[in-house]
């Protein structure tokens, strides 16, 4: 192994990337773990917002519909970087002011929670649209049939709407998850120690910019490819019992 690395001239890179100090590999993996944690949280939070948002857009009153339209339009038109800065500084400031007014003192907001909250709000806007489209794609007759049997709204959602829309929503949600993992990189700009910032620190300290950015790129790519495979399985599972869509859009 060492010989191969030596002949390829990669020994120095391998040393820099080794998992134990003086190698920086451990830092990169810690950053990756942080990135995934935030991406996961933001995706879940976004999904929650999206579920309420989609129901609001479809079944809500006029005011709710208009407010949701403003939310999704604004979020989708303004760069994530700008949104992150606004939400990061304004959001935590407001929460602190509110809790102080209520007499609770300062709230400790960890970087992870702030990151989840910021990216979650961004994800929520996209998730609203994805889920709205998916719910609309569920044949109306199925929902009406469930209502006719006197199914309560919550059970209707759990038993009929969500399982039936899963197959329509999965491709869009898979895309959203990938966006979530990549958007965590933007948190580097607000100084959150996720993979991109760890990479930047390692690169700046060792001057091996090329090595570290390539290594981080490879890590992101592995996450993408792995998630792609997982979502393909989920989609297959969600589609079980449905006729194949291959060639259907021809």
Partner 1 sequence: MTQWRALLQPHRIVLMAIFTGLVIWCAFALRWDWVPQYAPLAVEGLWRTIWILILTSVLGFMLAIPLGLAQAVGPWYLSAPAKLFCTIIRGTPLLLQIWLLYYGLGSLFPQIPWIRGSELWPYLRQAWPYAVLALTLSYAGYEGEVMRGAFSSVNRGQLEAANAFGMPRFTMFRRIWLPQAIRNVLPTLGGETILQLKATPLVATITVVEIYSVSSRVRADTFIVYEPLLLLAVFYMMIAGLITLLFRRFEEQVPKR
Partner 2 sequence: MKTKALVALGLATAMMTTGAASAEEVKIGIAAEPYPPFASLDASGTWVGWEVEVIDAICTAANLDCVITPVAWDGIIPSLTGQQIDAIMASMSITEERLKTIDFSDPYYNTPAVIVADKSMDIAPTPESLAGKIIGIQASTIHQAYANAYFGDAAEIRVYQTQDEANQDLFAGRIDATQADSIAMADFVGSDTGSCCEIKGPVANDESILGRGVGAGVRKGDDALRDSLNAGIAAVLADGTHAEITSRYFTTSIYSE
Task: Give the footprint of partner 2 on this chain (CB under 8 A).
Answer: 21-24, 26-27, 30, 85, 88-90, 92-93, 96, 105-106, 109, 114, 189-193, 197, 200-202, 204-205, 207, 209
Q: Which does 105 bind (CB under 5 to 8 A by kind): partner 1, partner 2, none?
A: partner 2
Q: Considering the complex, what minimum distance in angstroms separates the CB of residue 191 from partner 1?
A: 13
Start-to-end CA span in the chain (Å): 51
d(Cα 250, Cα 136) in Å, to the nearest integer? 22
Q: Which does 193 bind (CB under 5 to 8 A by kind): partner 1, partner 2, none?
A: partner 2
Q: Considering the complex, what minimum distance in angstroms separates the CB of residue 221 from partner 1?
A: 4
Q: What angle do CA 194, 198, 201 make, to 5 degrees?
A: 145
- Cβ atoms of 46 and 123 closer than 8 Å: yes
Q: Considering the complex, what minimum distance in angstroms separates the CB of residue 207 from partner 1?
A: 6
Q: Considering the complex, what minimum distance in angstroms separates the CB of residue 93 from partner 2?
A: 4
Q: Which of 219, 246, 232 is nearest to 36 (CA)?
A: 219
Q: Which does 199 bind (CB under 5 to 8 A by kind): partner 2, partner 1, none?
A: partner 1
Residue 202, token pair as written in the block: 């390692």
Place of tokens 């300062």: 106
Q: Which of 220, 121, 235 is nearest to 171 (CA)?
A: 235
Q: Which does 202 bind (CB under 5 to 8 A by kind): partner 2, partner 1, none?
A: partner 2
Which C-beta is closer to partner 1: that of 146 or that of 220? 220
d(Cα 112, Cα 89) in Å, to the nearest integer? 14
Q: Considering the complex, what minimum distance in angstroms separates the CB of residue 53 from partner 1?
A: 17
Q: Considering the complex, what minimum distance in angstroms separates the CB of residue 101 from partner 1?
A: 18
Residue ranges binding partner 1 (CB under 8 A): 62-63, 66-67, 74, 76-83, 85-86, 89-90, 178, 182-186, 188-189, 196, 199-200, 203, 207-210, 213-214, 216-217, 220-221, 224-225, 249-250
Q: Which does 161 bind (CB under 5 to 8 A by kind): partner 2, partner 1, none?
A: none
Q: Which does 19 bind (CB under 5 to 8 A by kind): partner 1, partner 2, none?
A: none
Concatenate the DSSP letters of all residues of 107-170 into one string: ----HHHHHHHHHHHHHHHHHHHHHHHHHHHS-HHHHHHHHHTT--HHHHIIIIIHHHHHHHHH
For residue 139, the tally of other CB atoms under 10 A from its CB is 9
């Amino acid at each position: 192994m060492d010989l191969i690395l030596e002949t390829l001239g990669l020994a120095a890179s391998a040393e820099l990337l080794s998992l134990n100090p003086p190698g920086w590999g451990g830092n990169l993996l810690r950053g990756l773990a942080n990135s995934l944690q935030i991406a996961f949280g933001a995706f879940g939070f976004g999904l929650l917002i999206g579920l309420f948002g989609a129901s609001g857009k479809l079944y809500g009153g006029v005011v709710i519909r208009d407010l949701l339209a403003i939310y999704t339009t604004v979020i989708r038109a303004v760069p994530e970087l700008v949104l992150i800065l606004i939400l990061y500084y304004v959001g935590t400031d407001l929460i602190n002011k509110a809790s102080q007014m209520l007499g609770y003192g300062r709230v400790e907001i960890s970087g992870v929670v702030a990151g989840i909250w910021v990216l979650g709000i961004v994800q929520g806007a996209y998730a609203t649209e994805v889920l709205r489209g998916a719910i609309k794609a569920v044949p109306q007759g199925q929902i009406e049939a469930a209502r006719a049997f006197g199914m309560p709204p919550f059970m209707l959602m759990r038993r009929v709407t969500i399982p039936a829309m899963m197959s329509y929503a999965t491709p869009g949600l898979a895309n959203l998850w990938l966006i979530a993992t990549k958007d965590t990189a933007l948190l580097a700009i607000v100084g959150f120690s996720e993979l991109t910032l760890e990479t930047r620190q390692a690169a700046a300290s060792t001057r091996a910019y090329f090595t570290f950015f390539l290594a981080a790129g490879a890590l992101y790519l592995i996450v993408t490819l792995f998630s792609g495979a997982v979502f393909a399985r989920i989609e297959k599972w969600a589609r079980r019992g449905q006729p194949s869509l291959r060639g259907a859009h021809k």
